[in-house]
Structure 1
Amino acid sequence: MARLSARISTGISGAESQIMEALWARGPLGAEDLVREVGGPQGWGEATVKTLINRLLKKKAIASERVGGRARYRPLVSRADYVTGESQGLLDRLFGGEVAPLVAHYAKHRPLSAEEIDRLKALIAQMEKDDAEKGDG
């Protein structure tokens, strides 16, 4: 299986990812919206949410824009790029960049359901088909 040629490293922490998830789901939001949407369920106060916003601004993961005299934040990193980077980071750190040992680990420690096995087989079949088509082109 081919490894990604370039790992996308965002350095977004677990707490910061909660802010990002809200922005990916709802688009630009103000600090008050993020306090209500993320802070409340997490038990975080306004200061914590604003600290997380500032960290994300410094990391250039989000941008701030003024709308009606208030700051609104929008993501600069797509969710797909974030997931790709985090996934590759996990593979690199724990499984030498290889997918098969990851799947084997899960299968050994948490048996796969019949549906999961079928989905994996379908994924492998599609990947083989795509590789064969690339070879023909």
Structure 2
Amino acid sequence: MEQQAGAISDAESKVMEVLWQAGRAMPAEDIVAALVNGHQWQEATIKSLLNRLLNKGAVSAQKEGRRYLYTAVLKREHWLTSESKGMLDRLFGGRIAPLVAHFGKHRKLSKTDIAELKRLIGELDDDQ
């Protein structure tokens, strides 16, 4: 059963991405190896992030011999939903249309994006 994790920081989300992509329990050294080069973080920083995630209930740890294996408890989809809802609430009053209008106004929507949005809207209309 998934626990409701506390808010995940940007740095913590990088650790979570490693666990989500792996889809399995991982020892700290594998998580460190996945992050140390790309983010220029020290091992101690990554282990601190793991501890914070453990305290928030976003990951669990199981002892295996002399090491711990870390597993994502927080599901990526749940985190993504929470993050996107928070962003929409903070910036656009919880509405999607002003978000799309903002990107359209600043020319951040490609023709492919617009075609996909039209398709999605069509599917939503069909469902109702």
> How high is the TM-score relative to the length of structure 1?
0.86
Aligned to 1:23: 19
Verify: 1:128 aligned to 2:118, yes or no.
Answer: no
User: How many Å separate the matches in 2 of 1:113 and 1:96?
Assistant: 25
- 1:9 deviation in Å? 6.9
Aligned residue for 2:68, secondary structure, equals strand
CA RMSD after TM alignment: 1.3
Q: Which aligned segments of 4 or more residues in structure 1 are displaced greater than 2 angstroms? A: none
1:32 to 29, 37, 49: 29
Displacement of 1:41 after TM fit? Answer: 1.3
SS at match of 2:120: helix
For residue 74 of structure 2, give the secondary structure of its aligned residue in structure 1. coil
Conserved 8 A contact 1:9-1:85: no
Aligned partners of 1:64 and 1:72 also within 8 Å: yes
Contact kept? 1:64, 1:71, Cα under 8 Å: yes
Q: Alignment length, in residue pairs?
A: 124
Structure 2 CA distance for aligned equivalents of residues 96 and 9 of structure 1: 24
- Structure 2's unaligned 5+ residue stretches are none
Task: After TM superposition, list the pairs within 5 Å mapping 1:96-115 onto structure 2.
Answer: 96-115=93-112
TM-score (norm 2): 0.92
Q: 1:33 to 1:111 in 2, by over 3 A?
A: closer
Match of 1:56 among 31, 53, 56: 53
- Identity within the alignment, %: 46
Q: 1:21 to 1:104 in 2, by over 3 A?
A: same
Are the counterparts in 2 of residues 10 and 85 from structure 1 also a CA contact under 8 Å?
no
Give the direction of change, closer, same or farther, for the CA distance of 1:94–1:129 in structure 2 (3 Å limit).
Answer: same
- 8 Å Cα contact 1:24/1:75 also seen in 2: yes
